[in-house]
């Protein structure tokens, strides 16, 4: 099964080319268009309680869709907001995604919900995160462009810009600078990521969009 990421980075979407016997798991509502020969099966996203927990805390749907085909076909998957999509290949390792980032994965990938902790919450990265593990490809999206960085030691990310990270990375909340700088620089609270591993960041943040929109409302 070949998957192309098209129209990057602003309006990225996935074009999935099915060969007979292929299948892919996708977030409910991600399908934009598909060939008529593709089967779509809807099932709970994990167990019953797991699915509900992911809906409540992970901003993901209760249901996920499994698309499969016995003959060649095409499927287009997309995300609700403008931005890039990337693919990461898991080799038995785990990746943690921010709520709402997950788009699709190979059927061999396991999806679960992990507790992210209060530090992550204060850093405005959410109390929970989606955990993807196993072997296979995972596609996830972000608002704006996505850039990745291999961390070794410490790195600073503004709150709301972290999209995905490895469990080998620790998330800490910190002030951007001194008290004065932090409050008046517009940076406020930042996320300090520490450890060895990869992080994915988005070039825009929803908080930033919300604040900007708010300032233009009456």
Partner 1 sequence: MNQHNQSFSGGVFHPSIPGGRAGAEITINRGEIIAYTQCDGQPVFSIPINQCQLDLGGASGRMLFCRTPDGQLTIFSEDKHFAQALDLHSGGLLGNQINTLKRAVRSESKKLGFWILASSLACALILFIGYFAMLWAAKATIASLPISIDEKIGKLALDSMDVGKRLDSAHPASKLVQSIVDKLQPHAAIPNMKFKVIVVEDPQVNAFALPGGQIVVFTGLIREATSAEQIAGVLAHEMSHATLRHGLQSVSQSLGIVAAIQLFVGDIGGLVALGAQIAQQSILTSYSRTSETEADLEGARMLHAAKIDPQAMAEFFGLLKEKEGDIPDAIAWISTHPQHSTRIENIKNHQKSFPATQYEPLDLNLKEAQEAL
* Interface residue list for partner 1 (CB under 8 A): 89-94, 96, 116-117, 119, 122, 133-135, 150, 165-173, 194-198, 210-211, 214
Q: 12, 5, 6: which is closest to 143 by C-alpha?
A: 12
Closest among 64, 87, 110 to 200, alpha carbons compared: 87
Q: Cβ distance 97 to 59 under 8 Å?
A: no
β-pairing, 162-165 vs 146-158, is unpaired
Minimum distance between the CB of residue 202 and partner 1, rounded to whole angstroms? Answer: 19
**Nearer to partner 1 by C-beta: 4 or 150?**
150
Of residues 156 and 211, the one with the C-beta less far from partner 1:
211
Contact 203, 144 (CB under 8 A): yes
Residue 9 or 188: which CB sits closer to partner 1?
188
Of 9 and 117, the one with the shorter C-beta distance to partner 1 is: 117
Q: In what order do the strands lie in the sheet with 31-34?
A: 2-6, 13-18, 73-77, 31-34
Residue 218 beta carbon to partner 1: minimum distance, rounded to whole angstroms: 14
Using CB atoms within 10 Å of the CB of residue 130, give its burial: 0 to 12 exposed, 13 to 18 middle, 19+ buried: buried
**In the complex, minimum distance from the CB of residue 67 to partner 1, in angstroms, rounded to a whole number:** 26
Least separation, in Å, of the C-beta of 155 and partner 1? 14
Nearer to partner 1, 68 or 114 (CB): 114
Minimum gap (Å) between residue 6 Cβ and partner 1: 23
Closest listed residue to residue 131, CA positions, set 167, 84, 171: 167
């Amino acid at each position: 099964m070949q998957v192309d990421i098209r129209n990057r980075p602003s309006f990225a979407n996935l074009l999935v080319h099915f060969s007979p016997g292929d299948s892919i798991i996708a977030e409910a509502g991600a399908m934009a268009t598909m060939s008529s020969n593709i089967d779509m099966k809807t099932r709970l996203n994990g167990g019953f309680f797991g699915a509900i927990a992911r809906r409540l805390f992970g901003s993901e749907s209760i249901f996920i869709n499994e698309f499969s085909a016995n003959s060649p076909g095409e499927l287009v998957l997309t995300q609700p907001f403008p931005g890039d999509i990337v693919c990461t290949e898991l080799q038995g390792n785990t990746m943690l995604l921010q709520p709402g980032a997950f788009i699709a994965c190979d059927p061999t990938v396991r999806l679960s919900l992990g507790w992210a902790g209060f530090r992550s919450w204060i850093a405005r990265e959410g109390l929970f995160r989606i955990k993807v593990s196993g072997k296979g490809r995972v596609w996830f999206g972000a608002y704006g462009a996505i850039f990745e960085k291999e961390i070794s030691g410490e790195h600073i990310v503004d709150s709301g810009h972290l999209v995905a990270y490895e469990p080998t990375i620790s998330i800490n909340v910190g002030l951007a600078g001194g008290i004065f700088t932090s409050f008046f620089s517009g940076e406020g609270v930042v996320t300090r990521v520490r450890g060895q591993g990869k992080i994915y960041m988005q070039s825009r943040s929803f908080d930033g969009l919300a604040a900007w929109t708010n300032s233009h409302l009456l």
